[in-house]
């Protein structure tokens, strides 16, 4: 059975969410952030030397990186038409967005998170961070357009991956000016599987 | 023919490098960073709304994200055994590292780049940045071990993607303490295709 090494209030939430969407059988092994530093506990280092979450364990294999985990779970647990196959003409649009979520779009939000620790000391960086956040959310708003979901207008792995960017946008107080993205995040959060993942994995405050 | 929208002294170098490794036919369309801000020129916005490089153009399609571009090029131009296929037992190790390069490993180096702009104002962040750089290079050093290359002990898309992390490590002055990674970067830089990419794409100062 698939095991998920799950850190509370982290990117790992979306892995549980996907597993719930697919009605997969799995086991959650829980880890708690340090109350003072908010960092992952050292026990995660025993699972994988990077000491981060999520980590997927299955048949003696460990897989890291959210997008690789999401792809693995879809390949193992989803019905045939849930994700594109390599011979589909729009396959690379999917692959591009799967990489884009953590490879580019989340970057200015992480910079903002670190800049917050520095307070006023980071103010010369703020214009660049703000413009990059607008740049990425603007792009995603155009990709979504009037569709219901990002890819093929149906719920997919891309939604799971990009949800974290929308949550970060909500937390930053800028998502509201992209009404289609704001509505989409509300729709994600209203899905039964999303709620079930919170029930199982614990409170998820990012974006609320 | 494949077109690469190439920004000087950027991640786009490794895309040219891959195309040269595969003896592919392609066209380079060049863009220059602003002399004062070092940012990409506005002309890249006309190619793709994010205004970033690399962008691959082929058969009327535009593909962004280095790892998606690298995957596309390999699928189009490489011989059959250059990359794993989904039914291979080690396929997800490849996928994980393809995502890991830009999704995780490069992050503390980018933070360090931004922290440099802030000078002393960023000093409270430095311990975290330094420890995360050590964490990621330590992991990569373990993955490489005594092998010649990161995956299946032969040159692959993973080397193309992870080379940027090693270049960043060299620039930060920390790669030298991971001798296997340091040697591997020297080996990359000594490959004919790597040198040819610099000749065609212009000077590449990162990591030198």
Q: What is the pLDDT of residues B48-105, one digit of tens each?
A: 999 999 999 999 999 999 999 999 999 999 999 999 999 999 999 999 999 999 999 9
The stretch A64-79 carries a mean pLDDT of: 98
**What whole-number percentage of chain B has pLDDT above 90?**
90
Q: Give the distance from residue B164's alpha carbon to the nearest chain A alpha carbon, in angstroms.
A: 13
pLDDT one-digit tens code per residue, B120-165: 999 999 999 999 999 999 999 999 999 999 999 999 999 999 999 9
Residue B98 and residue B53 share a domain: no
Residue B8 and residue B34 share a domain: yes
Residue A182 and residue A99 share a domain: yes
In the predicted structure, residue B208 carries a pLDDT above the cut 80: no
pLDDT one-digit tens code per residue, A127-141: 999 999 999 999 999
Q: Give the distance from residue B37's alpha carbon to the nearest chain A alpha carbon, in angstroms.
A: 11
A49/B72 Cβ within 8 A: no
Residue B114 and residue B60 share a domain: no
In the predicted structure, residue B207 carries a pLDDT above the cut 70: no
Reduce the secondary structure of B117-183 to three states and give it as a string. Answer: HHHHHHCCCHHHHHHHHHHHHHHHHHHHCCCCCCECCECCHHHHHHHHHHHHHHHCCCHHHCHHHHH
Nearest by CB to B124, from A75, A103, A117: name it.
Answer: A117
Q: Is residue B47 part of a domain?
A: yes
Between CA B151 and CA B157 the distance in angstroms is 9
Domain that holds residue B161: 91-191
Q: Give the distance from residue B128's alpha carbon to the nearest chain A alpha carbon, in angstroms.
A: 10
Q: Give the distance from residue A82's alpha carbon to the nearest chain B alpha carbon, in angstroms.
A: 16
Q: For residue B151, report the phi and psi dihedrals to the nearest 5 degrees.
A: -130, 125
The stretch B168-193 carries a mean pLDDT of: 97
CATH of the domain at B142: 1.20.1050.10
Nearest by CB to A63, from B50, B92, B138: name it.
Answer: B92
Residue B101 and residue B74 share a domain: no
Q: Is residue A115 part of a domain?
A: yes
Q: Is residue B208 part of a domain?
A: no
Q: Is residue A15 part of a domain?
A: yes
Between CA A83 and CA B173 the distance in angstroms is 42
Between CA A175 and CA A169 the distance in angstroms is 5
Q: What is the mean pLDDT of chain B?
A: 95
Residue A120 and residue A60 share a domain: no
Token digits of residue A113 = 């998170």
Residue B100 and residue B168 share a domain: yes
Residue B104 and residue B52 share a domain: no
Q: Is residue A62 part of a domain?
A: yes
The stretch B169-174 carries a mean pLDDT of: 95
Q: Report the pLDDT value the prediction gives residue B38, as an integer from 0 to 100.
A: 85
Residue B51 and residue B14 share a domain: yes
The stretch B101-123 carries a mean pLDDT of: 93
Task: Spell out where A59-172 has E strands.
Answer: 61-63
Q: Contact at 8 Å (CB) between B181 and B136?
A: no
In the predicted structure, residue B107 carries a pLDDT above the cut 90: yes
Token digits of residue A134 = 């607008």
The stretch A13-33 carries a mean pLDDT of: 97
Between CA A114 and CA B119 the distance in angstroms is 15
Between CA A12 and CA A10 the distance in angstroms is 5
Residue B197 and residue B179 share a domain: no
| Total structural domains within chain A | 2
Sort strands B61-63 and B55-58 into parallel, antiparallel or unpaired: antiparallel
Q: What is the mean pLDDT of chain A?
A: 95
Residue A101 and residue A173 share a domain: yes
Q: Which residues of A touch B111 (CB under 8 A)?
A: 110-111, 114
* Least confident range of A117-126, A175-184, B20-29: A117-126
Residue of A nearest to B141 (CA): A49
A52/B142 Cβ within 8 A: no
Is this prediction's pTM over 0.80? yes
Q: Is residue A208 part of a domain?
A: no
A49/B142 Cβ within 8 A: yes
CATH of the domain at B37: 3.40.30.10
Alpha carbon separation from B12 to A66, B28, B53, B197 (Å, rounded)? 24, 10, 6, 10
Size of interface A-B (CB pairs under 8 A): 108
Q: Is residue A177 part of a domain?
A: yes
Q: Is residue A207 part of a domain?
A: no
A121/B118 Cβ within 8 A: yes
Q: Give the distance from residue B130's alpha carbon to the nearest chain A alpha carbon, in angstroms.
A: 14
Q: Which residues of A touch B124 (CB under 8 A)?
A: 117-118
Residues of B in CB contact (< 8 Å) with A are 49-52, 61, 63-68, 71-72, 75, 86, 92, 95-96, 98-100, 102-104, 107, 110-111, 114, 117-118, 121-122, 124-125, 135-136, 138-139, 142
Residue A65 and residue A54 share a domain: yes
Q: For testing the chain A interface, which of B95, B123, B142, B158 should be mutated: the one with the most A CBs within 10 Å?
A: B95
The stretch A108-118 carries a mean pLDDT of: 92
Q: Which residues of B touch A117 (CB under 8 A)?
A: 124-125
Selected residue with higher pLDDT from B55 and B204? B55
A114/B64 Cβ within 8 A: no
Q: Contact at 8 Å (CB) between A43 and A18?
A: no
**How high is the ipTM of this complex?**
0.96
Q: Report the pLDDT value the prediction gives residue A207, as an integer from 0 to 100.
A: 37
């Amino acid at each position: 059975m698939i095991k998920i090494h799950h850190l509370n209030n982290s990117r790992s939430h979306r892995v549980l969410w996907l597993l719930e969407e697919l009605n997969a059988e799995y086991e959650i092994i829980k880890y708690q952030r340090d109350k003072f530093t908010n960092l992952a506990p050292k026990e995660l280092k025993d699972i994988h030397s990077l000491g981060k979450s999520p980590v997927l364990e299955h048949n003696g294999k460990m897989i890291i990186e959210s997008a690789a985990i999401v792809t693995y779970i879809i390949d193992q647990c989803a019905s045939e038409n849930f994700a594109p196959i390599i011979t589909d003409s729009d396959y690379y649009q999917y692959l591009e967005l799967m990489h884009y979520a953590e490879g580019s779009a989340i970057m200015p939000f992480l910079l903002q998170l670190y800049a917050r620790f520095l307070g006023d000391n980071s103010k010369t960086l703020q214009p660049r961070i703000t413009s990059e956040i607008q740049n990425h959310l603007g792009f995603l708003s155009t990709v979504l357009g009037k569709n219901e979901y990002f890819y093929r207008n149906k719920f997919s792995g891309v939604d799971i991956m990009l949800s974290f960017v929308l949550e970060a946008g909500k937390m930053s107080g800028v998502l509201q000016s992209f009404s289609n993205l704001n509505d989409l995040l509300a729709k994600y959060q209203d899905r039964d599987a999303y709620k079930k993942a919170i029930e199982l994995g614990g409170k998820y405050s990012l974006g609320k």
